Amino acid sequence: MIKLHDKYFKPFISEGEIMAAIKKIADQVAVDYKKETPIFVGVLNGAFMFVSDFLKAYPHPCEVSFVRLSSYQGLTSTGIVESLLDVPENIEGRSVIILEDIIDTGRTVKKLIDLFSNTKVKEFKIATLFYKSEVYNGEYDIDYFGMKIEDKFIVGYGLDYNELGRNLRAVYQLNQKHMINLVLFGKPGAGKGTQASFLKDKYNLKHISTGDVFRYNIKNGTELGTLAKSYIDKGELVPDEVTIKMLQDEVEKNPDASGFIFDGFPRTTEQAKALDEFLVTKEMRVDATIALEANDEVLIQRLLERGKVSGRTDDQDEKMIRNRFDEYNEKTAPLKDYYDDQGKFHSVNGIGSIEDITSRLAKVIEELQAI
């Protein structure tokens, strides 16, 4: 397992497998062009290692040049292919074989076809080391490929994640399992908000507070906010599917997050099941539920002190505070069992300095990352 920037990557294709794939391409091209001197055009930046090893494996006379194209930022394709280094000169009447590191959607292929369409070459073919055939649009033939791979983000052997990883001799695949998704539990006053703020910065997690999400959508009059308000105004509970859709929107707005902290949801077993079902559609899961545990009397004193400055009436009345604790115990007990049965429930001592509590939470998260 390796870490580049904020992401973890697991071994996917060994150096030996890569060399065998390159030899396969070189042997096929050598049969087709043994009677002439082709020009191999590498596509920078990603194909530089492929071009180097391909030329070592190619047994006949040849020439080499490069073009430079780019369509990726981070983990995703921008959909816009830029030409940064144009086609080589003196290729009229020559056989040109493009050497690409990877072909997926076909946008880069289309740009290459456009670049060479008016050059009057004798023949134009495309060779790629890695071929994501399941997402390729099929508009143009791919003449040679080293191996077909699934549609997963990969780094190594010239391929990068935000410019890191190009020098790796093997290829690694994004390890989605190390996207850490947490459900944070805790009675009022346990410090969930404070700790979530530290954790999100430390681990590049997105903190999704259900209360904040509701307030944002209602205040801004979004379609979901208007729908939620219509239930609230009638004194009815907002249906789980509306809440889930709000959470889904928050997840999809943050594709570069290394995970999510869900705060205030789920509150019932049915909501927990609904959250699991949604995360599966994103190839994600809840990795752990962490409960900040603290003595009721300590929390009551915290809340009463908080109430002096917050102005919240429910933080100023001890009876109301105890009622909130009773409601928490009643609702979260089944949830504890639900997640405990999956081996995902973790209890953390919520008494002590903010730094001490953060350290305890960090220990749980880092144990998850090490799995």
Distance from the first to the final alpha carbon of the chain: 10
322 is a catalytic site residue: no
Of 24-38, 86-100, 158-172, the range with the lowest mean pLDDT is 86-100
Q: 314: which 2 tokens?
A: 């429910």
| Model confidence at 235: pLDDT above 90 | no
**What is residue 172's predicted lDDT score, i.e. its pLDDT?**
94
**Selected residue with higher pLDDT from 107 and 260:** 260
Task: Enter the tokens of residue 189.
Answer: 């006053």
Could you list the beta-strand ranges (E) of 212-305.
Answer: 259-263, 288-293
Alpha-carbon distance of 105 to 94, in angstroms, equals: 28
Most confident of 52-56, 75-79, 178-182, 300-304: 52-56
pLDDT score for 111: 84
Same fold for the pair 2-176 and 179-369: yes
Determine the pLDDT at residue 78. Answer: 45
* pLDDT for position 224: 92
Just give the CATH number of 2-176: 3.40.50.2020
- For the segment 326-349, the average pLDDT, to the nearest whole number, is 88
Is the pLDDT reported for residue 81 higher than 70? no
Residue 284 one-letter amino acid: M
CATH of domain 179-369: 3.40.50.300
Taking residues 222-236, what's their average pLDDT? 90
Residues whose CB falls within 8 Å of the CB of residue 223, separated by 6 or more in sequence, listed in order = none
pLDDT band at 308 (very low <50, low <70, confident <90, very high): confident
Give the CA radius of gyration of the chain: 28
What does pTM read for this prediction?
0.53
pLDDT score at 31: 97
- In the annotation, is 192 catalytic? yes
Domain ranges within the chain, ordered by starting residue: 2-176, 179-369
Residue among 324, 331, 336, 360 flagged as catalytic: 324
Task: Tell me the backbone φ, ψ of residue 138, rounded to 5 degrees.
Answer: 75, 15
Catalytic one of 267, 302, 336, 344: 267
Catalytic residue selected from 10, 122, 312, 363: 312
Catalytic residue among 23, 166, 285, 306: 306
**Torsion over CA: 20, 22, 23, 28 (sign):** positive
Average pLDDT over residues 224-248: 89
Query: For this structure, is 306 an active site residue?
Result: yes
Taking residues 291-315, what's their average pLDDT?
A: 83
What pLDDT, on a 0 to 100 scale, did the predictor assign at position 99? 96
pLDDT, residue 307, reads 80
Look-up: residue for tokens 């307030």? Answer: 215
Tell whether the model's pLDDT for residue 186 goes beyond 90: no
Looking at every residue in the chain, the average pLDDT score rounds to 87
> Active-site residue among 7, 94, 132, 192?
192
**215 has catalytic annotation:** no
Q: Which residue has the higher pLDDT, 282 or 97?
A: 97
Is 107 a known active-site residue?
no
Overall average pLDDT of the 343-356 stretch:
91
